[in-house]
Amino acid sequence: MTYPHPTHRDRLLSSLDRDGAAGVFFSGDEKIRNGDSAFRFRPSSDFYYLTGFREPEAALVLAPRGEERAVLFLRPKDREQEIWSGKRLGVDAAPEVLGIDAAYPFEELWERLPKLLLGHTAVVHDVGVDEGRDRAMNEVLRKTALHAKTGAVVPEEWIQPKRHVHELRLFKGEAELATMRRAAQISADAHRAAMAAAAPGVNERELDALLTSTFLRRGGTGCAYTNIVAGGAGACILHYVENDRELSAGDLCLIDAGCELDFYASDVTRTFPVDGAFREPQRLLYEVVLDAQVAAIEHARPGVTFKSVHDTAVRRLTEGLVEHGLLEGPVDRAIEEENYRAFYMHRTGHWLGLDVHDCGAYFLEGESRKLSPGMVMTVEPGLYVAEDADVDAKWRGIGIRIEDDVLITADGTEVLSAGVPKTVEEVEAACRGAELCST
């Protein structure tokens, strides 16, 4: 898959140029897990979005008013190092392979940066990610300030990446959407496989392993976030990741797991009966969450606000809670007083892209942002009845969430994760293994 990283870069250069700003974007460093073993490296999302380059210890400098507008600093070729830790692209090959104007060894970054930034009034830099880097960047500003005496235009402030690159990332292009569709399809297959494999006595970690292996075997690059496999009341812990208990007959199992493909995320949650058949109270609450989720997706379209998708889900959930006697009515008061928050304490969705909780403003000038074509968001209402909740005992310990990945199109939505069983009938059939992988 070839990505239009040069297009991303050109669009950002134009946007920076309008503000007279330059930008510096770091790939990131390898992080030690313990001893001398490192976590698997993943480039920072902004950096990858602009370069398509996957190596650590690299930085992209965008200088729209400079002679070299796109400059990459990266690790030089090193025969000894490459034997131990893999091939490097190297300085000589980088300009042609990545379509940039110039490349230099990473160790020359700090020395060359002041000159590259001259002629710009501000620098986009993600302050607060790495203290050492922030100090070095401040030192660069101090050095460039010396040039002001000669009349040169020098940068005087940092700009957070929000306004420029994060606004671009919020709107996905066709190549990005193709990747996200594929990631969601692979997630669908993994969820189906987990539903079919679940049974009383199976340990949560077996399903965890099955999800991850399906992601990788189907061509994904890994998990977009830590898989959540939560049997029974574990589902009421929103970020339960222990995944180490045996599943029990009569319990539900909540799985929140998404495939990452070329660093793009999918984010899918399903809840299903461990032994393949919903019990009556479980089914009733499941239908409430399903109704809220379908209504929220139907509501989503260009022109409606992000918040109104949440409000739609909250109304349906609250109606269900009142109908089944978990909340006192009337519905309007239960919503106004936020009593539903005892059972539904999170938002109904978030932007999705290179980051699972992707970048992009949710509010513009204090108002909830309107949805537009090209945005991708999750829609994920849930209900969580604590084991000590002050409700009829039959509801206690039930946790349900249903989450899909939704692209806003010109006239509505496209559900990227539509291949995952969702209705009661579909889910029970998938638990019986009655449905095979779709692709």
267 binds Mn ion (CB under 5 A): yes
Of the pair 104, 215, the CB lying nearest Mn ion is at: 215
Quickly tell me which residue has 């929000």 as its tokens.
Answer: 162
Q: How far is the CB of 403 from Mn ion (least distance, A)?
A: 5
Of 267, 319, 358, 428, the active-site residue reads 267
Q: How far is the CB of 356 from Mn ion (least distance, A)?
A: 7
Of the pair 43, 258, the CB lying nearest Mn ion is at: 258
Region at 270 (left for phi over 0; alpha for psi -120 to 50; beta for the rest): beta
Q: How far is CA 411 from CA 173, 303, 408, 415, in A?
A: 17, 10, 8, 13
- Report whether 353 contacts 179 (CB < 8 A): no
Residues 361-390 that bind Mn ion (CB under 5 A): 378
Of 11, 75, 315, 350, the active-site residue reads 350
DSSP 111-151: HHHHHHHTT-SEEE--TTS-HHHHHHHHHHHHHHHHGGGGT
Of 204, 380, 405, 428, the active-site residue reads 380
Of the pair 251, 267, the CB lying nearest Mn ion is at: 267
Q: How far is the CB of 413 from Mn ion (least distance, A)?
A: 16
Of the pair 318, 378, the CB lying nearest Mn ion is at: 378
Partnered with residue 414 across adjacent β-strands are 407
In this structure, what are the phi and psi dihedrals at residue 116, rounded to the nearest 5 degrees?
A: -65, -30
Q: How far is the CB of 251 from Mn ion (least distance, A)?
A: 22
Instruction: Provide CB contacts within 8 A for 84, sequence distance 6+.
Output: none
Of the pair 176, 267, the CB lying nearest Mn ion is at: 267
Of 65, 205, 346, 396, the active-site residue reads 346
Residues 176-195 that bind Mn ion (CB under 5 A): none
Q: How far is the CB of 349 from Mn ion (least distance, A)?
A: 7
Torsion of CA 104, 105, 106, 112, to 10 degrees: -50
Q: How far is the CB of 355 from Mn ion (least distance, A)?
A: 11
The C-alpha angle 394, 395, 396, rounded to 5 degrees, equals 100
Q: How far is the CB of 242 from Mn ion (least distance, A)?
A: 19
- Report whether 404 contacts 297 (CB < 8 A): yes
Of 384, 404, 405, 428, the active-site residue reads 384
| Residue 177 structure tokens | 């959407």
Of the pair 235, 327, the CB lying nearest Mn ion is at: 235
**Angle (deg, nearest 10), helices 424-431 and 280-299:** 120
- Per the annotation, the verdict on 267 as an active-site residue is yes
Of 57, 69, 401, 404, the active-site residue reads 401
Residues 340-359 that bind Mn ion (CB under 5 A): none
Q: How far is the CB of 99 from Mn ion (least distance, A)?
A: 34
- Per the annotation, the verdict on 36 as an active-site residue is yes
Of the pair 137, 253, the CB lying nearest Mn ion is at: 253
Determine the interface stretch with Mn ion among 118-126, 191-199, 265-273, 391-399 (rule: CB under 5 A): 265-273
- Per the annotation, the verdict on 384 as an active-site residue is yes
How far is it between the farthest Cα atoms of the chain?
Answer: 79
Compute the distance between CA of residue 250 and CA of residue 430 in angstroms, rounded to an integer.
Answer: 17
Determine the interface stretch with Mn ion among 158-166, 259-267, 282-290, 419-427 (rule: CB under 5 A): 259-267
Compute the distance between CA of residue 388 and CA of residue 379 in angstroms, rounded to an integer.
Answer: 28
Residues 38-77 that bind Mn ion (CB under 5 A): none
Q: How far is CA 393 from CA 143, 326, 358, 397, in A?
A: 68, 11, 38, 9
Determine the interface stretch with Mn ion among 138-146, 266-274, 339-347, 425-433 (rule: CB under 5 A): 266-274
Quickly tell me which residue has 């049974």 as its tokens.
Answer: 199
- Per the annotation, the verdict on 357 as an active-site residue is yes
- Per the annotation, the verdict on 125 as an active-site residue is no
Number of residues near Mn ion (by CB under 5 A)? 2
Of 57, 126, 256, 428, the active-site residue reads 256
- Report whether 179 contacts 154 (CB < 8 A): no
DSSP 22-54: EEEEE-----EEETTEEPPP---HHHHHHH---
Residues 123-182 that bind Mn ion (CB under 5 A): none
- Per the annotation, the verdict on 204 as an active-site residue is no
| Residue 297 structure tokens | 């997706």
- Per the annotation, the verdict on 54 as an active-site residue is no
Of the pair 176, 256, the CB lying nearest Mn ion is at: 256
User: What residues act catalytically?
Assistant: 36, 239, 256, 267, 346, 350, 357, 380, 384, 401, 403
- The residues of the shown chain that bind Mn ion, judged by CB under 5 A, are 267, 378
